[in-house]
C-alpha cells in the first residue's frame, strides 16, 4: 500500500511504475541541486539509491506524511546516514514538506542536517550517521512490532561497504534468532566505498550466501530496474517467508544517472560544482524553471 490517510485509511496517492521512474529521475535532479547548494555531501550513494527510495516512499511503505508518528506506519531506518539527501527527497516527494526546502541541506539550523537527525525533521525515524547501527535499531523496532502484535514492516537501508561493520552481523544474527519476518534489509550494492572497490578495501562477498547462512531470505535484484525493485519490496513486505527476515541485495551503480560520476569512487563524498550540476540537469534546474 502507498501513502495513506492514517485516520480514514484512504489511499492518498499511488504511483504507477512509469510515475515512479519519473519521480526517481526528478529526485536525482533535486539531489544534485541540493548537494551543489550545500557544497558538500555524498553524491554517489544518493544517486545509486534513488530508484529504491522512490519505490519505497511512494509506493511500498504505508505511511501518512501528515501523521509521521502514526503507530501502524511502516518504519524506514537509514543505517547509512550519509545518504540523507535521498531520505529527504523521499519524504519530500511523499509530501512531508515542500521539495524546495531540501536546498537548505547542510546549512546551519537547517532541518536537513548532513546526516539525518530525527529531532530536526518529522519523518526521520532515528538519527544516524555512524555506520553499522541501523540494522540493530531495526531489529529493536521489529521486536517492538511483534510485542505489540502490529503488522507494520521495518525496512533498513544499508550500504555494501557498511557490511564491514561487525555490529551489522550481530543484528543479522538477532533478526533470524527472533524470526523477524517483519524486517526487511535493503543493501545498496554499488560496490564502491571511499578508498575504492569494496572487494579491494575489505571484501564482504558472498553477501547473499552469508545472509542465507545466517537464516535470512535473500532476494537479489537490479536496483535500477523499477519493476524488479517494486516486485522485491512487495514480496518482502507482503509475503515474507514465515519466520525469516528478508534482505534485498540491490545491484546498483554509484553515481547512477550522471555519466561522469558513474562507478567513480571519488564521487562518494563529493558534491557537484555549479557547472557539473548544470551539465547533468540543464540550466532550467539551476534557475528553478523545471517542472515536476
Partner 1 sequence: MQKAAEYQAEVEATLAAKLPTFSRDYWWNTGDTMKVKMEPTRKGFGLSLKNNGDDERVVCLGLDISGSITISEFYYGNPQRTNRWISLGIAEQSATAAAVGLARDGKLPVFGTYGTFAAARNLDQIRVSVCYGNFNVLIAGAHGGVSVGPDGATHQALEDLFAMCGLPNMSVVVPCDAVETRKATDYLLLEHVGPKYIRFAREATPIVTREDTPFVFGKANVSRLRHQSPDMIDAFETVLAAEYADENEDLSIIACGPMVPEAMRAAWILKNEFGYETRVINMHTMKPIDQEAIIRAARETGVIVTAEEHQIGALAWRVSGILTESPELFGIPIITGAIGVKDRFGDSGAPWELIKEFEISAEHIAQKAAELLALVQVKKQDERLELTC
Give the position of cell 511503505.
61
Cβ proximity to partner 1: between 48 and 176 the closer is 176
Rounded least distance, CB 174 to partner 1, Å: 6
Q: How many residues can be counted in the chain? A: 292
Cβ proximity to partner 1: between 23 and 204 the closer is 204
Rounded least distance, CB 156 to partner 1, Å: 10
Paired sense of beta strands 75-78 and 246-251, if any: unpaired
Which backbone phi and psi does 31 adopt, to 5 degrees? -60, -45
Rounded least distance, CB 289 to partner 1, Å: 38
Rounded least distance, CB 243 to partner 1, Å: 16
Rounded least distance, CB 194 to partner 1, Å: 18
Rounded least distance, CB 172 to partner 1, Å: 9
Cβ proximity to partner 1: between 154 and 229 the closer is 154
Cβ proximity to partner 1: between 243 and 282 the closer is 243
CB-CB contact of 159 with 188 (8 Å): yes
Rounded least distance, CB 143 to partner 1, Å: 6
Binding site for partner 1 (CB under 8 A): 75, 77, 117-119, 125-130, 132-134, 136-145, 147-148, 154, 166-167, 170-171, 173-174, 178
Cα–Cα distance, 34 to 41 (Å, whole number): 9
DSSP the chain: --EE-TTT--EEE---HHHHHHHHHHHHHHHHHHHHHHT-S-HHHHHHHHHHHHHIIIIIS-B-TT-TT-TTSPEEEESSGGGHHHHHHHHHHHTSS-GGGGGGTT-TT-SS-SS--TTTSTT--S---STT-HHHHHHHHHHHHHHTT----EEEEEESGGGGSHHHHHHHHHHHHTT-TTEEEEEEE--EETTEEHHHHH----HHHHHHHTT-EEEEEETT-HHHHHHHHHHHHHSPPTT--EEEEEE--TTTT-TTTTT-GGGSS-PPPHHHHHHHH-HHHHTT----
Cβ proximity to partner 1: between 41 and 145 the closer is 145
Cβ proximity to partner 1: between 136 and 153 the closer is 136
Rounded least distance, CB 132 to partner 1, Å: 8
Cβ proximity to partner 1: between 130 and 213 the closer is 130
Cβ proximity to partner 1: between 37 and 139 the closer is 139
Amino acid at each position: 500500500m502507498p501513502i495513506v490517510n492514517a485516520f480514514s485509511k484512504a489511499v492518498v496517492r499511488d504511483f504507477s511504475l512509469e510515475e515512479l521512474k519519473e519521480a526517481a529521475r526528478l529526485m536525482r535532479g533535486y539531489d544534485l541541486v541540493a548537494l551543489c547548494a550545500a557544497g558538500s555531501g555524498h553524491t554517489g550513494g544518493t544517486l545509486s539509491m534513488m530508484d529504491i527510495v522512490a519505490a519505497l516512499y511512494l509506493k511500498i511503505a504505508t505511511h501518512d506524511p501528515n501523521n509521521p508518528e502514526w503507530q501502524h506506519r511502516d518504519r524506514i531506518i537509514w543505517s547509512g546516514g550519509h545518504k540523507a539527501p535521498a531520505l529527504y527527497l523521499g519524504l519530500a516527494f511523499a509530501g512531508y514538506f515542500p521539495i524546495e526546502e531540501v536546498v537548505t541541506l547542510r546549512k546551519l539550523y537547517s532541518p536537513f542536517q548532513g546526516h539525518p537527525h530525527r529531532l530536526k525533521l518529522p519523518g526521520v525515524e532515528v538519527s544516524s550517521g555512524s555506520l553499522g547501527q541501523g540494522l540493530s535499531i531495526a531489529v529493536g523496532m521489529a521486536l517492538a512490532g511483534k510485542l505489540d502484535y502490529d503488522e507494520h514492516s521495518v525496512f533498513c537501508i544499508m550500504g555494501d561497504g557498511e557490511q564491514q561493520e561487525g555490529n551489522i552481523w550481530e543484528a543479522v544474527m538477532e533478526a533470524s534468532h527472533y524470526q523477524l519476518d517483519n524486517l526487511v534489509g535493503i543493501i545498496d550494492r554499488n560496490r564502491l566505498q571511499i578508498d575504492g572497490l569494496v572487494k579491494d578495501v575489505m571484501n564482504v562477498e558472498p553477501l547473499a550466501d552469508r545472509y542465507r547462512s545466517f537464516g535470512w531470505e535473500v532476494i537479489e535484484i537490479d536496483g535500477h530496474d523499477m519493476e524488479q525493485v517494486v516486485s522485491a519490496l512487495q514480496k518482502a513486505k507482503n509475503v515474507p517467508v514465515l519466520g525469516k527476515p528478508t534482505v534485498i541485495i540491490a545491484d546498483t551503480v554509484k553515481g547512477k544517472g550522471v555519466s561522469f560520476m558513474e562507478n567513480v569512487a571519488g564521487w562518494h563524498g563529493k558534491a557537484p560544482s555549479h557547472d557539473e550540476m548544470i551539465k547533468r540537469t540543464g540550466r532550467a534546474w539551476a534557475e528553478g524553471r523545471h517542472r515536476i
